[in-house]
Amino acid sequence: METGYDILFFWVARMIMDGLEFTGQVPFSTVYLHGLVRNEDGQKMSKSKGTGIDPLPVMEEFGTDALRFTLLVGSTPGNDTNLSLKKVEGNRNFANKIWNAGRFVISAINTLTPTLPPLRAHVPERERRRGQDGWSLADSWIWARLYALIREVERLFQAYQYGEAGRQIYEFFWNDFADWYVEVAKLQMQKEDSRKQTVGTLVKVLDMCLRQLHPFTPFVTEELWGHLRQAVLQSPLAALAADWPEALIVAAWPEAHAEEGWETGKMADFALIQDTIRSIRNLRAEKKVSPAKRIPATLVGGAKTNLIKGQSTMISTLAGLDKSQFSILESLKAKPENSLALVAGPVEIYIPLSGMLDLQEQRKRLEKELADIQLQIDRLEKLLDSDFASKAPAQVVQKERERLAAFQDTAGKLRTQL
């Protein structure tokens, strides 16, 4: 029995009492109570008060899947849900993300020529040993993360934590699969010897994601899975879809497997690569470096030097580094001069300022900032030298003195940078 908590006595309790009175049996063994769906301001929806939200226009604008996903994932057991159209719009973007990721995978399948030997059939016991079969670090990582997700979602479903299960599937699909693995897969597919296995991994991971998302977003997943199944069956990967039914709604739920021991190391190694790339990306954003500009960098890997060297192509491509000026060292006696230093775990990152920034452009920007601040300093100094300092309340004068000191401090830092 599933219902809102507000009618627990008025409806649920009376159904139980009537069942016992007239049939001698309890009508249900489990009651799942969800919170109330309120409007964006937290008011209970009411037609008479005009506080309701008509779902039909919302579905027309953002899609049924987006509204459904918002209601399922936005709910926390024991708490009410405030339905915001901003949230529905965000989940419409998630539905678009699912569709676009699916289009990419299908286009990747179409790059495989019929002359390629068929990929081996899906054997779960073997596919769970990604770290031992010559697969890339990214392949091993995505499989480890996927099976960890399947185990966690199964646990959450058993505990009736449907909203949290949906949120974790969302996070995995958007962040791990679409933002990271798909980008790495584009690099791996450039090599003929790794293209087939990479596309096979894309297919299987997308397949299991769609199966888990289907209860939350049934329309987009059913449509996309149909296109995916057709593309796979017409490709050298046909063996992967040999046991797929004709419709996703009757497809088997992903099976949870216990950890085998290799997952922790692979996830830790890939996390270090992610941290390294993120550190460089964040610096580029902070310094407003153009995404198209390739910058030099020196990485000091220490005990992780071999790992960094093995993933150098991924790091240089995703972090926007100039391969001709990208070096990886085990140790470094002294920090390079005129370089910015970053740290990602045990890895040290040094980026020369001259190679990252347009110094003339930076000088113009700093000079403009200094000129604007100097105007504020001159105005405050003139104000504090006038009768204002003796006539205004002491706290007001003190506040202006503090503002002057802050501007003078900023001006000093800008002069140092210049």
Which amino acid, 392? A
Predicted local confidence at residue 389, as pLDDT: 81
| Structural domain includes residue 303 | yes
Please give the share of the chain, as a percent, with pLDDT higher than 90.
46
352 and 365 in one domain? no
Cα angle, residue 262 at apex, residues 277 and 329 outer, rounded to 5°: 40
| Structural domain includes residue 78 | no
Predicted local confidence at residue 171, as pLDDT: 96
| Structural domain includes residue 116 | yes
- The yes-or-no verdict on residue 122 having pLDDT over 50 is no
- The yes-or-no verdict on residue 126 having pLDDT over 70 is no
Predicted local confidence at residue 310, as pLDDT: 92
387 and 239 in one domain? no
147 and 167 in one domain? yes
Pair 221, 248: CB distance under 8 Å: yes
- The yes-or-no verdict on residue 118 having pLDDT over 80 is no
**176-201 pLDDT tens trace:** 999 999 999 999 999 888 888 999 99
Residue scoring higher pLDDT (82 or 209) = 209
124 and 210 in one domain? yes
Which of residues 194, 229, 261 is at a domain's end? Answer: 261
**320-345 pLDDT tens trace:** 998 988 989 888 888 888 888 888 88
Section 80-100 average pLDDT: 90
| Structural domain includes residue 84 | no
Domain containing 346 equals: 269-356
156 and 142 in one domain? yes
Strands 32-34 and 2-4: parallel
Confidence tier at 131 by pLDDT (50, 70, 90): very low
| Structural domain includes residue 83 | no
pTM tops 0.75, yes or no: yes
Pair 170, 95: CB distance under 8 Å: no
CA distances from 248 to 9, 110, 374 (A): 38, 21, 66
**363-387 pLDDT tens trace:** 787 888 889 989 989 988 888 888 8
Which of residues 218, 240, 261 is at a domain's end? Answer: 261
Predicted local confidence at residue 113, as pLDDT: 62
Give the Cα separation of 408 and 271 in Å (integer): 42
Residue 302's SS3 state is helix
246 and 136 in one domain? yes
Pair 236, 120: CB distance under 8 Å: no
| Structural domain includes residue 82 | no
Confidence tier at 63 by pLDDT (50, 70, 90): very high
Strand partners, 302: none
181 and 34 in one domain? no
- pLDDT averaged over every residue in the chain: 87
Give the Cα separation of 79 and 38 in Å (integer): 11
Considering only 33-37, 69-73, 277-281, 408-412, which range has the smallest mean pLDDT? 33-37
Which of residues 309, 337, 356 is at a domain's end? Answer: 356
| Structural domain includes residue 87 | no
Pair 188, 136: CB distance under 8 Å: yes
**251-271 pLDDT tens trace:** 999 998 888 889 999 999 999
Residue 245 is part of a domain; what is its CATH number? Answer: 1.10.730.10
Confidence tier at 114 by pLDDT (50, 70, 90): low
CA 412 remoteness from chain centre: 40
Section 4-32 average pLDDT: 88
Considering only 170-179, 248-257, 300-309, 389-398, which range has the smallest mean pLDDT? 389-398
290 and 178 in one domain? no
Provide the number of structural domains found in the chain: 4
Q: What is the largest CA-CA distance in the chain?
A: 93
257 and 180 in one domain? yes
Give the Cα separation of 277 and 281 in Å (integer): 6
218 and 176 in one domain? yes
**139-166 pLDDT tens trace:** 999 999 999 999 999 999 998 888 899 9
Give the Cα separation of 62 and 230 in Å (integer): 27
Predicted local confidence at residue 128, as pLDDT: 46
Predicted local confidence at residue 133, as pLDDT: 60
**214-232 pLDDT tens trace:** 999 999 999 999 999 999 9
| Residue-by-residue DSSP string for 23-69 | TSS-S-S--EEE--EE-TTSPBP-TTTT----HHHHHHHH-HHHHHH
| Structural domain includes residue 343 | yes
- The yes-or-no verdict on residue 130 having pLDDT over 70 is no
329 and 312 in one domain? yes
Helix axes 64-73, 162-171, angle to 10 degrees: 120
316 and 247 in one domain? no
Confidence tier at 106 by pLDDT (50, 70, 90): very high
Predicted local confidence at residue 410, as pLDDT: 86
Q: Which residues contact 173 (CB under 8 A, 6 or more apart)?
A: 97, 98, 101, 209, 213
